[in-house]
Each structure stands twice: as structure tokens, then as C-alpha cells.
Structure 1
Amino acid sequence: GGTQVGVAMVAMTRGGELWAPDGDVFRPERWIEAAENDERFKEMCGVVDLVFGYGKYTCLGKGIAWMELNKVLVEVGAPEPLNP
């Protein structure tokens, strides 16, 4: 036997000072806001890395998820081409 250790991902990705005060709200623009503060952005990326795993245990969909996230950030931050 051995000891199994687990992590509560809901608490990691929604709670604490990093995601406060609206951690339960879907708000992708929080990543744009965090990009202005390099330290906060690094902390947020570190938490997301925990969700996807690391090394040989990395989630196979991690690259696709990051691509989708980047597409969302571009769409949220892009000006309207017909109304500049």
C-alpha cells in the first residue's frame, strides 16, 4: 500500500486571492487583466498547469485547450472591424 494524495481542482481554480472576488463567474477577460501583472499571470498559468498535469501524465488535450483559450482571448480583445 501507499498513501494517495489528491488535489481539489475546484478550490484551486476558483478560490483564494488569485481568482477573487468572482472566481465562480465565467470571465475570460480576467486573463487579459492578469497579463498586465506579470507575477499574477505566472501564478494563474501555474494553477492551470496543475489542472492539465505535467510530464508523461500531461493531458493529451492540453495543446488544443490552450489553442482554444488563445482564440477566445483574441476574440474578446479584438475590436469590431465594422465599427473601429
Structure 2
Amino acid sequence: YIWGFTKPGTDNNVAVAHNYGLGPKVQAQFGSLGRIQLQENSSALVIEELQKDAAGMYTCQALFDTDEGARITFYFTRLEVEDN
């Protein structure tokens, strides 16, 4: 799977993190969003110490092998960050 991020007001979806079976990889340049982690044995994206820049659209693209062949699934999550 791969997680992408689109900043509000743009249409540029950039890779934030992925795991293609060799372990999770997080792109270091996205530290301005918060502390990003991928949960082990899961496709869950976790952002701790959330920053205002984390607001936007997150897209997870997952590829699964099935008896009928490869299947691709997309998950879309819009994150809004409010000031305290």
C-alpha cells in the first residue's frame, strides 16, 4: 500500500508513506505534518503531534491478490485541523 497527501488548494498528490512488503517507509520531508508512523501489520497511517499543515486529503492505495487476480482499493480521508 501507499499513502498519498494532497494539500488543500492543490491537486498534487505526493507519497507520504508506503509498505511494499519490505517494511514501512515514511518520507522524511513530511515532518511538518507531525510525527508520521505506519502501524505494524496494518495499513493504518498514524500522525502524532499533529500540526496545522497536516490538514488535507489522504489517499491510501492498496493492492490485494485474490483468486480472481489483483484487486486495487482506494481509501480517501479528509483531515481538518482546528486551532485550540
Shorter-chain TM-score range: under 0.3
Judging by fraction of residues, say which structure has more helix.
1
Normalising by structure 2, what TM-score?
0.25
Normalising by structure 1, what TM-score?
0.25
